[in-house]
Amino acid sequence: MARAMFEYTKTVLKKVSFDVTLFCKELEKALQRLLPYEIEELKIFIQPLLLQNPELNQCLIYLKP
């Protein structure tokens, strides 16, 4: 089931990438739900989204340890 949550999170983040506030909120929720190795995968996944939407860079504060 954990893998399904990771896939769902990726889908949601893609869909809300147009709105910085929503993206940050969903990213925050994802970090609470996902396992540590999935969070590392998520960091890799969001790199292209950040390139397409540079305004999302402000959400990276949630990914810092």
pLDDT digits (tens, 9 = 90+) for 6-41: 999 999 999 999 999 999 999 999 999 999 999 999
> Is residue 30 within 8 Å of 42, Cβ to Cβ?
yes
For residue 54, the enclosing domain spans: 2-62
Block residue for tokens 């969903």: 26
Amino acid found at 49: L
Residue 56: count of CB within 10 angstroms of its CB: 21
b/e sequence 42-52, b meaning 16+ C-beta within 10 Å:
beeebeeeeee
The pLDDT value recorded for residue 63 is: 85
The pTM (predicted TM-score) of the whole model is: 0.88
Count how many domains the chain has. Answer: 1
